[in-house]
A and B are shown apart, each in its own frame.
Chain A
C-alpha cells in the first residue's frame, strides 16, 4: 500500500493560512493510533525483509538468533531483533551497511566517529523525499509557512544539518538563505536586511549572534524574526526562556541524528512540552542501557530508533546513547505521535561542543599522532560569551620536553593542528608542568565540563 507522496502535499498552492491553523503536510502527525500502529507494523515487516535480504550484518545477526523476517508479526516482536551500534558503522566503514546499490544512492553524508574515521550515511531519492517531508512537518509544527524567509546557519557540507533543513524548507515553499555557519557580522547583516522571519542554528550560536547584534546596536525585538529552529546540542529550558525573552521569538527544539536521517527525527510543537517523534518513519523504544530490556512509556532509559522507511541504509534498533523518556499522554496540540522528553544526558562519553560531536578518545588519537607516548591530558570545557570553548591541557614529560621555546611552541601548535584535523574543532592547547594533572585510581576522568546549562 503506497501513501500519496508526502512532499506533494507540502507546497500546496491553494492552501490559505486563515482556513486552518494546521498545515496539511502535518496530517500524518494526527493519525488515530490504530491506523498509526498498523502503518508502523507494515513498514517494519517490509524493512526487516529488505534488510535481511540485502545487509549481511543483519542477516548474520538474525541467523544467530534463529530469526526470520516472517517472525515479526506484531509491533512488540521488534524486541526480538538485534540492536545496532555506532561501532557497526565504524566496523563496516564506509559502505558495508548499505541495502541499496550505489547507483541508487543519490547522497552521502558523514559525521564524526570516535576515532579518525567518520560515520558514513547514505540516501536514495526516496530517502531524500522522506527526509524533506519530516523537515516540512517539523517546520510546520513550529508555525513556519510558505512565505517565511529562513536563515539557515547550520553547517552545509558533510554535516546533515545544513542540507537537511535546506531541502525541507524549500519543499515547503519557503525562501531559504543558505548561510551555513560562521561570519557573525554577515549573519546579522542578512538577518536585518533580508527581513528574515525564521532562524535555524544551534541555540548557543543564536545567543552569540544576539550578543553581537546588541553590540552593533541592532534591536532583535524590532526585526521580523519570530521563530528559531534550534538543535544539534542539548539545551535547557532556562536557555529557551532566555532566548525567547532576549529576541522575542519562539525557540523550538529540533532533534535528529545522522545515523537515523539527520535533523527531523523529532520536533517541538507549540506546547513546548516534549518533542513529537515522527514515529511513522522512526520507531522509538526506551531500553535499560545495561540489560537491553524494553521499558514502558514514561520510564527513563536509552533511546533506540528503527528507521521504518529508509532504503539505502536502514537502521534496526539503533542505540542512540541518548537518555530520555517517551511520553504517550495526549498532547494539547492534538498530535498522536509520542513525545520525547528533552535530552539532557548521554550514556556514553560523547560531548557536544558548538554543535559538533566530540569523543575524548579523539583527543587521544590526536595526541598520539604527534607524540609516540600518550602524555597525561585533560579536556576542559568552558562557556565564554555564549560559545563553547575547548581547552586541552597536556603534561610535559621527559619524552616531549625540549629546552627551546620554539620547539615547545611547535609542539603546542602541532597538538592543536592534530586536534583540529581529527575533530574539526579548534582547541586551545595549554602545556602544563609534569605531575600536575589529577591521576585517578580507575578510569581517568579526562573531561572537566565547566559549562553550566544556564
Chain B
C-alpha cells in the first residue's frame, strides 16, 4: 500500500534540476509527480516515477545521490473541506505529517495526495477505517 519516492539533493544553482530531468528523459522514464523543497542554500527534489528502481539506477549512474523513501498515496475528497477531513483522521490516529504534495491525476471525484507520515502503517489503517482509499503502485500506474 506504500509507494517508493526518490529524493535528490540540489544546490540552488540554475540547470541542476534540468540535469535530473534530462537523465530521466534520456532513459524514457516518466515523472508522475514531483515536489521541490527549498532553503536559502539548497533544495530537495522528490519524485514519483513508475519504474523507481530503474530510475534510481539511471540517476546514480549519472552521479546523483538518490534516497528512496516509502510514502503513502491517499485519496482526498476533491471539494471544500476534503483536506480537513483527511487531516482530522490522521491527527486522531496520532500520526505526524512530515511533508506532502499532490498528484497531477485524479481518481474519480478525489484528488490524490502523497504523504510522508512518521508512522505510515498507522496512518494507512486509520485512513482505510475512515473509508478513504489508499493507492498502491498498481492502482496509480495503470
Closest Cβ of chain B to A197, distance in Å, is 45
For A409, the chain B residues whose CB sits under 8 A away are 39
Decide: B37 and A431 in contact? CB cutoff 8 A: no
For B39, the chain A residues whose CB sits under 8 A away are 405, 408-409
Give B99's nearest chain A residue, CB to CB.
A404
For A396, the chain B residues whose CB sits under 8 A away are 9, 65
Give B7's nearest chain A residue, CB to CB.
A403
Q: How large is the interface on B (under 10, 10 to 19, 20 to 34, 35 or more residues)?
A: 10 to 19
Contact of A104 with B by CB under 8 A:
no
Bitwise interface map of A from 37 to 75 toward B, beta carbon under 8 Å scored 1, else 0: 000000000000000000000000000000000000000
For A404, the chain B residues whose CB sits under 8 A away are 44, 98-99
Within 8 A of B (CB), among A398-439: 398, 401-405, 408-409, 412, 430-436
For A244, the chain B residues whose CB sits under 8 A away are none
Q: How far is the CA of A401 from the CA of B43 in the complex (A)?
A: 12
For B10, the chain A residues whose CB sits under 8 A away are 433
Known contacts A433-B11, A433-B16, A434-B9; A403 and B44 CB within 8 A of each other: yes
For B69, the chain A residues whose CB sits under 8 A away are 403
Closest Cβ of chain B to A394, distance in Å, is 11
Q: How many A-B residue pairs have CB under 8 A?
A: 43
Interface centre among B10, B44, B63, B65 (most CB of A within 10 A): B65
Q: How far is the CA of A408 from the CA of B42 in the complex (A)?
A: 9
Decide: B46 and A401 in contact? CB cutoff 8 A: no
Q: How far is the CA of A438 from the CA of B119 in the complex (A)?
A: 40
Contact of A397 with B by CB under 8 A:
yes
For A403, the chain B residues whose CB sits under 8 A away are 5, 7, 44, 46, 67, 69
Q: How far is the CA of A412 from the CA of B16 in the complex (A)?
A: 21
24 example contacts (A-B, Cβ-Cβ < 8 A) are as follows A396-B9, A396-B65, A397-B65, A401-B9, A401-B67, A402-B67, A403-B5, A403-B44, A403-B46, A403-B67, A403-B69, A404-B98, A405-B37, A405-B39, A408-B42, A408-B44, A431-B11, A431-B41, A433-B9, A433-B10, A433-B11, A434-B9, A434-B65, A436-B11
Q: Which residues of A contact B (CB under 8 A)?
A: 396-398, 401-405, 408-409, 412, 430-436
Q: Which residues of B contact A (CB under 8 A)?
A: 5, 7, 9-11, 16, 37, 39, 41-42, 44, 46, 63-65, 67, 69, 98-99
